[in-house]
Structure 1
């Protein structure tokens, strides 16, 4: 009887520890991505990887993900989710594709923040109220300041994009 109670106690401790679920983090990242992309169709996952899961506090964790996406045949207005069986990936060469990274923050087992950034897809930034293209921000981060005045231009591009 004591062993049974110890097992139940251990399961409850592990269940309530707030340990993150990478699968839930990916799903939440995709839901956010599909809200902020400019394309009228949902995006579906073509590849995924968990980059890191790390503790940031007593009951908080971050999950860093990398994943590739492609436009599906389902419209955002269809009320279907990106992983619905009817929402298969577009086969046309014109289908939008992207490489995305996300950080999902957990506290006490619940998702509290999701940050998604994609290359290849235009997204809507709710904070600034403007559309942005990740290609521009990546270009700005790669640029170096080999000559006088170049650093100022990079800061201006970052201010416009981010």
Structure 2
């Protein structure tokens, strides 16, 4: 019985300390991007050009992504997700497009911070473009997870471990 419980604890530890999914990081980045862009339709992913996953601590990882987005026919108010099959891209001439970089921070398998920067799109709270390398740019600093929640998660992991 004791070895069975140790095996379950080991599986839990391995599950909680795994390398984060770049697919999840990309999805979270686009969801956050769609929350702050001024356009009324959702943006979908048109391509992913690069990724970098690296460990920053015992339970923490960072994921850096480079990707491109294009406006879809789906309204932000439709209740659909950007990757829904019915959310086709708008025509080339009418669609807003962006070239994006994101930095996603994980701690104990939870996203705790997302930075997204896209050239070619405008934010809701900014009525003017900010210029960077002669192209439009937006930057987002996601809301950080409260420290209390992070410590609670660390305590849960420590209870499992020891």
- Fold agreement, TM-score > 0.5: yes
Secondary structure of the residue aligned to 2:133 is helix
Whole-Å Cα distance in 2 between the matches of residues 133 and 19 of structure 1?
A: 36
Larger radius of gyration: 1
Q: Give 1:70's aligned residue.
A: 70
Secondary structure of the residue aligned to 1:27 is helix
**Quick check: 2:51–2:64 contact (8 Å CA) kept in 1?**
yes
Superposed, 1:16-95 pairs within 5 Å as 16-95=16-95
* CA offsets 1:44-73 (integer angstroms, 9 cap, x no match): 010014421011112111000011110000
Gaps of 5+ in 1: 141-162
* CA offsets 1:2-51 (integer angstroms, 9 cap, x no match): x9988766543321115211111011001000001111100001001442
Q: Over aligned residues, Cα RMSD in angstroms?
A: 2.5
Structure 1 residues 137 and 66: CA distance shift in structure 2, 3 A: same
Gaps of 5+ in 2: 136-162
Q: Give 2:117's aligned residue.
A: 117
Q: Give 1:107's aligned residue.
A: 107
- Using the size of structure 2 for normalisation, the TM-score is 0.72
Runs of 4+ in structure 1 deviating by more than 2 angstroms, as ranges, are 3-14, 129-134, 137-140
- Using the size of structure 1 for normalisation, the TM-score is 0.72
Q: Give 1:130's aligned residue.
A: 126
